[in-house]
Amino acid sequence: MPPSLTWDRAHELFLESLRTSRGLSPHTVDGYARDILSFAEISQKDACGSPADATRSNIDSFLSHKAREGYSNRSVLRAISAIRSFYRFLQQENLVPSTPAEDLRLPRLGRPLPKVLSADQIRRILEAPDLTKPRGLRDRALLELFYASGLRVSELTAITYENFQLEMGLVRVLGKGSRERIVPVGDEARHWIERYLQEGRNRMDRGKLQKWLFLSNRGRRMTRQTVWHLLRKYARQVGVTAKLSPHTLRHSFATHLLEGGADLRSVQQMLGHASLSTTQIYTHLSRKHVRDVYRDHHPRAQKR
């Protein structure tokens, strides 16, 4: 084993091995190259003159530096992977006696927080459809139910007449894994569904006697893609520029319930989540709301 392996020499040998034997993409090789160069620079500033002298403390200092500089989680994960690969190679070549990266593990990326609209943004979207046309009544009823009950898009388009107990304000839903649940329907959504049934749906059914509640312009069952298109269309129409997903109203439903004081277990049941941990992602959003309320209303929340 060489008595003194320089950072430059170790870096050179490592990259050569990546290019010739690992089959990695040029993009990944370049990323690893930058990460090891940066790791070497930070370590040398801490008086670590060789890769063989580096400790776990040097690695932690490097990763903390990347975090302070605002690098993304994925960039930090790639840096961890680069350091692990770097020392694995050096050990295999007998260039270092031990590795400071032995217990270095790749953490799981946290789930991104769902995008949520404000109550005012949702109100503007719900009021956007043209109520003089059958399809406008359908869209208003569909969007009202979507937000009022937090359904998945696939559940929304699968609703039939038999699923509804409008007089009781309930809808029966068949969710993931064929799990059935009963979801409440608010008065506002019930009003628009009843109006759509009375004034719009028969004109869209065209005598086909379809069982689906919400029908396409051709009198057939609506698709998930059509619902997503409608949501984005009305959002643009009223100036809501936030990036939307098919689940935006579902996410907003859950978050607004928690902000209003609903308990997590009830929200879990309404969403149809098999595990409470899946629902807990919304608590991050509701906590922010609580902090904002505290900051805005408590007399000693902000320094004068």
- Name residue, tokens 């709301």: 289
Active site residue: 32, 147, 234, 282, which one?
282
Active site residue: 201, 247, 251, 256, which one?
247
Sheet containing 170-174: order of strands: 164-165, 170-174, 180-184
Q: How far apart are CA 64 and CA 92, in angstroms?
A: 28
Residue 250 annotated in active site: yes
Residue 273 annotated in active site: yes
Q: How far apart are CA 193 and CA 187, in angstroms?
A: 10
Active site residue: 123, 133, 176, 233, which one?
176
Q: How far apart are CA 264 and CA 203, in angstroms?
A: 41
Residue 247 annotated in active site: yes
Active site residue: 140, 152, 201, 256, which one?
152
* Residue 56 CB partners (closer than 8 Å, separation 6+): 100, 101, 103, 104
Q: How many residues does the chain have?
A: 304
Q: How far apart are CA 148 and CA 257, in angstroms?
A: 10
Instruction: State phi, psi for 270 to the nearest 5 degrees.
Output: -70, -35
Q: How far apart are CA 81 and CA 241, in angstroms?
A: 37
Q: How far apart are CA 95 and CA 90, in angstroms?
A: 5
Q: How far apart are CA 152 and CA 175, in angstroms?
A: 8
Residue 284 annotated in active site: no
Q: How far apart are CA 134 and CA 205, in angstroms?
A: 11
Active site residue: 11, 78, 256, 273, which one?
273
Instruction: State phi, psi for 184 to the nearest 5 degrees.
Output: -70, 150
Residue 297 annotated in active site: no
- Return the active site residues: 152, 176, 247, 250, 273, 282
